[in-house]
Every structure is written in C-alpha cells, then in structure tokens.
A and B are shown apart, each in its own frame.
Chain A
Amino acid sequence: MTEKVEYWVKIPFGPIHPGLEEPEKFILTLDGERIVDVDVKLGYNLRGIQWIALRRNYIQIMYLAERMCGICSFSHNHTYTRAVEEAGGIEVPERAEYIRVIIGELERIHSHLLNLGVLAHDIGYDTLLHLTWLAREKVMDTLEAVSGNRVNYSMVTIGGVRRDIDEKKRKIILDMIKYYHEVFPQIEEAFLHDPTIEARFRDTAVISKRVALEQGAVGPTGRGSGIRDDARWSERLGVYPDLGIKPVMPQDVTGERPRGDVFDRMAVRIGELWESLELIEHALDGMPDGKIKAFPKDNVLYAKLRLMVDGEGIGRYEAPRGELVHYVRGKKGSDKPLRWKPREPTFPNLFSVAKGVIGDQVADFVVAVASIDPCLSCTDRVAVIQDGKKKILTEKDLLKESIRKTREINPDIKGDPTPVGSSCSR
C-alpha cells in the first residue's frame, strides 16, 4: 500500500460568511487546513443593472452606475461619464477635471482606509480596525461637506461636475490634509511594523507576477505582484499627468522587491494614501477658475447627448481597487445607450486571488480575499430575475417560504410570523 490516500473535503465559503462583507460563494477543497482548490461562484448580488440600463437614458444611467457600489460610487460614475464623453466627443472644462481629481482621491483615501481596517479585522486585530475607521470618519465628513453625501456623491455629470469647490470647502479639505499628516504616520507604523501583521500577511496568498498577468490582476493587487500599471498614469487621464501621478509600487513603501503577498498589497495601499494626499494638495493649488460644466442644464445635456453620441466609447479609470473600464455604445437619435458594460477591478482580481491562495491555509483565505479589497456588489451587476420556469418569487413568496422552512425545522415554534404594519406595497 504505497498509494497515498488523500482526504479532501469541499466546504462552501459563503454566500453568507462572517469573513466576507458581501455575499459571494467560494467552494474550497481542503486537505486538512491546506487549500487545494478554489472555485468561485458569482451572482448572489445580481441586480440586473445592465438589463435595467437598456431601458434608461444616458443621464439616468449615471445614477444607476453610482449605485452599483457605495464605496466606489464616484469611480463608476466617473468612468461611465468618460465613456460617454468619448463616444460623444464632449469636452470637459479644466476646472471640472481638477474637481474630479479631488473627489476621486478623497474617495481613494476613504476606500483604502476602509480596506486596511477590514484586513486588520480579518486577523482579529480589532483595535486597528477601530482606529483606522475612526481616521476614516474625517474623510467621510469632508466628502459630506464637499458633495453633500457620505457615499453616492453625484459630483460628476457628463461634461463636467455638478458642484464647485469654493473657498469654504477648500478650507475643509486643507483641514483634512493637515489631520491626515498627523494620523497617517501612526497608521503606517501600525501596519508596516507590527509583528502580528507581518506574521499573518507576509508570504500569504502570493500572487506571482505570472499569475497576475495571466488573470489580468489590476490595481494594488497587480502592483503588489510587480505589474507597474496605473490606469490614471498609463491612460494619461485628464489632468493627472500634470499633477505628477506615478504608479505606487511596493518597493516604494517597504523598500523590498515585490513578492505579491498580502503585505505588499497593503503596502501599496498605504503608499497610495500618501500619494492621494499629495494629489489633492497639488490639485487644490493648481485649480484654474472657469466653468465647471460643458452644458449648464440637464435638459440641454439630454438633448445634446441624443445628437452627439454616435459610436463607441471606452472609459478607463483607476478606481481604488484597480483599473475600471466602462464601455458605452450609442446611436444618433436615441437617448439610450445600446450597450453599457462596466468591468470592475474585483472581477479579475478575484480570480487571481483564487489562484494565489492555493496551497495556503484556511486561515489565510479570508485575509487573501480581503487583500484584494473585493467589491462584490460591483462585480455582480448583470442578471435579471428569479426563475421563469417554475414560478417567480416575490417578496411575499420569499417570506412565505422562509416561514415554511422555519416550521419544518421546528414544528412547535411559537409566535406569529406575519409581518406587522404595512411594508412596501409591492
């Protein structure tokens, strides 16, 4: 009996799991604690956004794009807008470009701080989670003061931005920059020099450069593996080249060659926090006066888009999680795009990390998933409905089903499960 017997088990990781912020299913094949294989099943957040978009006009889709995800709402809106501007040949005033940079970088700060906290939480280091998220409140407040909302800022419109940054808002942003110049060194110290963090993140879920290239990893995930690309830089997007953008690589932060592990991805994020602060400072200094919109009113915009958009457009932007691409195809005379497809950075990153985590332990899996900063609600954006064959489940049916299941599990349950009060009349 020389043959080696392998006791492999398949366990579902998700759709609902405390380590995952959003519903997504991974099927792990385990050999003890070692991960042998990972299969990804997407689609637990499908809201049929592309299908809905077939029935919306250009301006309505801006709001739809924004609501794909709360954290990268600016990125989606911005990239979609870029795609429409390219398809329609619309020029954007320079001041608007600067304001886009400012909001985009504010969003990046808040997103990266969020992810750092989540990473700390996933190794049970809750103190760091609370401290980073406390620091994040400042940028959220700033965003609220500038745009009126903590998420879904609605700052961008096709051909410009909606709101100007005046002297008062400028002062708020400068205050924030001052605050972060005090706080970021602490965060950097905690994340880059803590022994527990180093023990858990170093050489965990290594995505080699080859795998990263094959699976098309983008953003901090790709840069952590040594792919020197940043869509803001390689696209020469807007005024970013004037502000001195360059891709942040792990060696800029840690001083070591990129290894492609969780630690490098985290280090890239920390480097980008500093870069974003600098970009905001430069943008505030260099912001010219002038118009902020190409078209003063939405109804003008609506009419113009009907005439101007004819053909295809690609928008590329570096969202906090990586390169975001939107594609828009329109036809002259129609107020709706014929096709709109976003591709969010989590999509390729998820598959990269699924390859990268093979051979590691179960304990690493949740850290690995968090290290790409997954935005699963962005990734699931497509399909439409429940089953058409058997029957269609509505809210009421689902409630009925869940009551039935509860009774099945526990027949002598007490209490009346019918909902109290009037919920949505649907």
Chain B
Amino acid sequence: MSEAHANEINEVKEPTKAEKVAKAIADRFPEAEVQVKTNKWGRQRVWVRIPREKYRELMGFIKALDREAHYSIGIEQDWGDELGFLSHLVIHYDDAPAVSLIVDVHAPKDDPVIPDISEVFPIALQFEREGMEMVGIDFEGAPDKRRLFLPDDFPEGIYPLRLDDKGVSEEMVKNAGHPYYLKGGAKK
C-alpha cells in the first residue's frame, strides 16, 4: 500500500474534499478507524472500518453528507475467522475529483450478521443478496433473501467463495480448473 497514510488532517495546507469527509466521519464516529490513503497517481481514498453496530448509522450519515451519494460496489469476502462486507461509495461528485469512500464492516463467522442498508441505498440489496449466497453473510432485515446468481438447486450451506470447509469441495468441481490439471478437478 502506498506510503501516505493516516489522518494528517491538522496539516497547514487546505484540506482536500476527501480529508474533510474523513474528518467529518472521524468526529461523528469515534469508534471508526478512518484513513486517507493516496495512491501513486495522487488519488485519495478514504478507508473507513466500522463496527457492525454503527454500520447502518454510518451509511445514513454518508447519505446525509451527500444526498446523491453513489453506492458503487459491495464486496463480500472471507477474512479467515471473520466475514467482511466492504462497500465503495462515490460522494461529492459534482466536481472532479469525487471522494472515493470505502466502508468495511466485519462479522465473526459464528455469528455472521450484518445490518442491511437497503433502506439507505436500495441497490445495496442486490450486493447483499450476492453476499448471502456467496459467503453466507446474513443481512439482518434484508427484504429479499432469494438467491441472485446461484441456481435454485444449489446445495444449501455451501458458499462458493468461502475459503474454509463450507466452500466448494473438490468433489463438487467438474470441468473446471486449469486445463493441465483436469484429472484432479480443480487445481489446489
């Protein structure tokens, strides 16, 4: 990750839009970890890590910051002992550069419950449906819990993108994997 990091909001120069957003979030949610990272071509992104209790509140706060906030992606992932759901939002895009905001929320695997935010961002529901079927996060209060991508006869309790034993086992895999390793199904 790039060198620039962390909350240097108290710098003398005029704070950028991203830094202002970071400061607003850090002030409002003291329990959140907020970082502003700059990549090699000078693009700043705000990375926020929030406990799941405050997740919905934070999303509401972001929506209040910019009513036209654009929810662009929800990423479900397996962190080993935790399941994560990471959202990328674009706000303040009325002039360039827009603020790129990344919100990460984690839940332990034995209680994979994350609040649903489809009331704030309706499109998030579709990413949540994907998260539910792919890694088995349970979105509390999601209005639509049907499967989105997986076929309806896909076995229950198997989540394809889980890295542990709830993932796809070797026996289930056919016609996949690297062509040189066809015999053993998927390549390890």
Contact = CB atoms under 8 A, between A and B. Distances in A.
A, B in one complex? yes
Contacts of A387: 151, 153-155
13 contacts: A46-B150, A54-B163, A86-B39, A86-B40, A86-B43, A91-B41, A233-B96, A236-B96, A312-B102, A323-B72, A325-B73, A341-B77, A426-B175
Interface string A214-247: 1110100000000111000111101001000000
Contact of B174 (A90, A218, A338, A385): A385
A140 B186 CA distance: 36
A314 B93 contact: no
B77 A329 contact: yes
Given A234-B93, A329-B77, A351-B123, A218 B72 contact: yes
A216 B171 CA distance: 39
Contact of A89 (B1, B73, B154, B177): B1
Given A216-B121, A385-B173, A235 B150 contact: no
Given A323-B90, A343-B73, 11 more contacts: A89-B1, A213-B70, A216-B121, A218-B70, A235-B97, A236-B43, A314-B88, A314-B102, A327-B73, A343-B72, A385-B173
B150 A383 contact: yes
Interface in A378-394: 380, 382-390, 392-394
Interface residues of B, number: 62
A166 B42 CA distance: 29
Interface in A325-346: 325, 327, 329, 338-339, 341, 343
B70 to A, nearest CB: 6
B6 interface: no
A55 interface: yes
A384 B98 contact: no
B65 interface: no
A314 B174 CA distance: 32
B165 to A, nearest CB: 14
A327 B86 CA distance: 10
Nearest to B134: A382
A236 B176 contact: no
Given A52-B176, A229-B90, A339-B77, A234 B149 contact: no
